Structure 1
Amino acid sequence: MQLTATNLAPTMKGFAAGITEERLDEFRLRLESRRTGFSLEAPFYTDPHLFNLDMQAIFGQHWVFACSVAEIPEPGDYVTLDYGPYSIIVLRTDDGGVNIIHNVCRHRGARVLTELKGTTGNLVCGYHSWTYSPEGELIHASAPGEMSFDKSCYSLKRGHGTIISGLVFLCLAEEPPTDFLETGKIFAPYVGPHELEKTKVAYQQNIIEEANWKLVMENNRECYHCDGHPELACSLFPTWGLTDETIPPHLEDVWDRNQQAQAALEFRCRRYGLPYEVVEELDTRIGGIRISRESLDGQGESFSPDGRRLSKKLLGDLPDFRLGRCSMHLQPNSWFHLLSDHVVTFAVFPISANRTLVRTTWLVADDAEEGVDYDVDALTHTWKQTNLQDKNFVELCQQGAESPFYEQGPYMKSEYQVEAFINWYVTRMREHVG
Structure 2
Amino acid sequence: MSSINGTTHGALFRSRASGHGMPGALFGRQDVFENDVDIFFHKHWIMAGVTADVREPGDVSAVDIGRASIIIVRDDDNFVRAYRNVCRHRGARLREQGKGSVGMLVCPYHQWTYGLDGGLKHAAHMGQHFDPSCRSLMPVPLRVIGGLIFVCLNDEAPVDIAALDETMTPRLAPFDLARTKIAYETDIIENGNWKLAIENNRECYHCSATHPELTVSFLAEDFGFCPDGLSEESERALAEYRARNAASLASWHKEGLLSEAVERLDDVATLFRTQRLVIAGNGESQTMNTKVASTRLLGDNTRRDLGDTHLWTHNSWSHVMSDHAVISYLIPLAPDRTLVRTKWLVHEDAIEGVDYALSDLIEVWQATNAQDARLVAINHQGTQDPGYRPGPFSPFTESYLERFSRWYATRLEAHGV
Q: What SS class does the counterpart of residue 62 from structure 1 fall into?
A: coil
- Report whether the alignment pairs 1:83 with 2:65: yes
Cα displacement string for residues 106-149 of structure 1 (whole angstroms, at most 9, x for unaligned residues): 33332211250011222111122121222333332224x97864
The answer as to 2:80 corresponding to 1:122 is no
Mapped to 1, the partners of 2:107 and 2:308 lie a distance apart of 43
State the AA in 2 paired with 1:151.
P
Alignment correspondent of 1:354? 336
- Asked if 1:396 corresponds to 2:378, the answer is yes
Tell me the distance in 1 between the aligned counterparts of 2:114 and 2:371. 43
Map of 2:308 onto structure 1: 325
Q: Distance in 2 between matches of 1:24 and 1:270?
A: 55
Q: Secondary structure at the match of 1:142?
A: coil
What TM-score does the superposition give when structure 1 sets the normalisation length? 0.89
Residue in structure 2 matching 1:210, options 191, 200, 205 = 191
Partner of 1:43 in structure 2? 25
User: Pick from 85, 92, 104: which aligns with 1:103?
Assistant: 85
Question: Which of these residues, 267, 286, 295, is aligned with residue 269 of structure 2?
Answer: 286
1:218-240 CA-partner distances (Å, limit 9, x unpaired):
00001000021001111122332
Q: Against the structure 1 CA distance between its residues 371 and 223, is the aligned structure 2 distance closer, same or farther, given a 3 Å change threshold?
A: same
Aligned partners of 1:423 and 1:68: how far apart in 2?
Answer: 29
1:305 to 267, 288, 298: 288
Question: 1:268: which partner in 2?
Answer: 251
* Structure-2 separation of matches of 1:396 and 1:83: 25
- For the 8 Å contact 2:288–2:363, the answer to whether it is kept is no
Measure the CA separation in 2 of the matches of 1:82 and 1:213: 15
Distance 1:340 1:418, change over 3 A: same
CA contact (8 A) 1:258 1:297 kept: no
Aligned to 2:16: 34
Residues 268 and 323 in structure 1, CA contact (< 8 A), matched pair in contact too: no
Q: CA RMSD in A?
A: 2.2
5 Å-filtered alignment, 1:195-206, equals 195-206=176-187
Structure 1 residue 241: Cα displacement: 4.2
> Contact 2:57/2:78 (CA < 8 Å) preserved in 1?
yes
Determine if contact 2:53/2:182 at 8 Å carries over to the other structure: yes
Q: For 1:410 and 1:244, locate their aligned partners in 2 and report how far apart those are by CA, in whole Å.
A: 15
Give the 3-state SS of the residue equivalent to 1:286 in structure 2.
Answer: coil
Contact between 2:63 and 2:97, CA under 8 Å: does it hold in 1? Answer: no
Aligned to 2:310, what secondary structure does the other structure show? strand
Q: Which amino acid aligns with 1:335?
A: W
1:416 maps to 399
| Aligned counterparts of 2:190 and 2:197: Cα–Cα separation in 1 | 8
Indicate if the aligned counterparts of 1:31 and 1:430 stay in contact, CA closer than 8 A.
no
Equivalent residue number for residue 184 of structure 1: 165
5+ residue gaps, structure 2: none
Letter in 2 for 1:173: N
Asked if 2 retains the 8 angstrom alpha-carbon contact of 1:272 and 1:319, the reply is no
For 2:327, the equivalent position in structure 1 comes to: 345
Q: Match for 2:178: what amino acid?
A: E
The 8 Å contact of residues 164 and 184 in structure 1, kept in 2 or not, is answered as yes
Aligned residue pairs, count: 414
Aligned to 1:234: 216
The CA deviation at 1:248 is 6.8
Q: Distance in 1 between matches of 2:138 and 2:179?
A: 31
Query: For the Cα contact (< 8 Å) 1:314–1:341, is it kept in 2?
Result: yes
One-letter code aligned to 2:142: G
Whole-Å Cα distance in 2 between the matches of residues 38 and 298 of structure 1? Answer: 35
> In structure 2, the residue corresponding to 1:233 is in which secondary structure?
helix
Where does the alignment leave 5 or more consecutive residues of structure 1 unmatched?
Answer: 1-15
Q: Distance in 1 between matches of 2:66 and 2:229?
A: 40
Please state whether the residue corresponding to 1:421 is helix, strand or coil.
Answer: helix
Change (3 A) 1:255 1:346: farther
Is the contact between residue 13 and residue 23 of structure 2 (CA under 8 Å) also seen in structure 1?
A: no
Shift of residue 96, structure 1, vs aligned partner: 3.4
1:305 Cα offset (Å)? 2.0
8 Å CA contact 1:345–1:360 kept in 2: the answer is yes
Instruction: Provide runs of 4+ in structure 1 moved above 3 Å.
Output: 22-25, 31-34, 145-155, 246-258
Query: Cα–Cα, structure 1 residues 403 and 198, in superposed 2: closer, same or farther, change >3 Å?
Result: same
- Does the residue aligned with 2:242 lie in a helix, a strand or coil? helix
Calculate the TM-score normalised by the size of structure 2: 0.93
Q: Is residue 384 of structure 1 aligned with residue 366 of structure 2?
A: yes
- Give, in whole Å, the separation in 1 of the partners of 2:375 and 2:97: 31
8 Å CA contact 1:226, 1:238 repeated in 2: no
Structure 1 CA distance, aligned partners of 2:229 and 2:215? 16
In the superposition, relative to structure 1, how do residues 252 and 208 fare at CA in structure 2: closer, same or farther (>3 Å)?
Answer: farther
Change (3 A) 1:333 1:247: farther
Is the Cα contact below 8 Å between 2:12 and 2:26 reproduced in 1?
no
